[in-house]
Amino acid sequence: QQQVKQSPQSLIVQKGGISIINCAYENTAFDYFPWYQQFPGKGPALLIAIRPDVSEKKEGRFTISFNKSAKQFSLHIMDSQPGDSATYFCAASTWSTLGRLYFGRGTQLTVWP
Amino acid sequence: DVKVTQSSRYLVKRTGEKVFLECVQDMDHENMFWYRQDPGLGLRLIYFSYDVKMKEKGDIPEGYSVSREKKERFSLILESASTNQTSMYLCASRGPRAPVAEAFFGQGTRLTVV
């Protein structure tokens, strides 16, 4: 059973538009929710992360929105650029998982110029 | 800068061969992980280790084993390679402040079994 469900699987956005990727989880013990970005030929790298004590975190054009009651969180990319074209993974973890991150299946984002 | 180094970027092996994938990290991290990445399936955890000589099965351990004799090195072993193990393999390490610690990934090993 997948612990973190991610949608959509792929996303095409025009340059300057807003990209939105959604994730949902069931385990209420999760207390750390990072997003990873992966470019072709590279390993994933941490983009931005949030703890459940806040509802939003913003870093530049990237924002995580977190809804604890709905057990959902999302990544918003404002003013999307062709350089943002990559695969994005949401993830979750908790102290009891021995350091393990549970990843969503990924979203392939393409930003057209 | 944390560095996770995987020994090979590309590997071609024959069916039935024993295959070793090596991963080394230089930040004294306790936790190390092996994932495989396939289109549409995301990152699937094969095995992870939270300390030297300690290992835990992930979601798809069948056909694989691991070894962690030293803290910095985590090896993935394919006992008898099969064509369905053709995939991208990613190693990662994570520091002691889990669950909030950042995971660092290697660049991956693309394994082809023929």
Closest by CA position to A30, among listed A75, A74, A68, A56: A68
Judged by CB atoms closer than 8 Å, whether chains meet at A99 and B105 is answered as no
Task: Give CA–CA dist B55/A56, Å, rounded.
Answer: 35
Q: Is the pLDDT of residue B2 over 70?
A: no
Q: What is the pLDDT of residue B72?
A: 96
Task: Give CA–CA dist A22/A40, Å, rounded.
Answer: 22
For B4-34, write each residue's pLDDT tens digit: 999 999 999 999 999 999 999 998 999 999 9
Instruction: Identify all chain B residues contacting A32, using CB atoms and an 8 Å cutoff.
Output: 99-100
Which CA distances in Å does B51 have to A33, A100, B41, B43? 23, 13, 28, 22
Judged by CB atoms closer than 8 Å, whether chains meet at A43 and B105 is answered as yes
Query: What percent of chain A has a predicted confidence (pLDDT) above 70?
Result: 100
For B38-80, write each residue's pLDDT tens digit: 998 999 999 999 889 899 999 999 999 999 999 999 999 999 9
Banded pLDDT at B97 (limits 50, 70, 90): low
Neighbours of B29 (CB within 10 A): 22
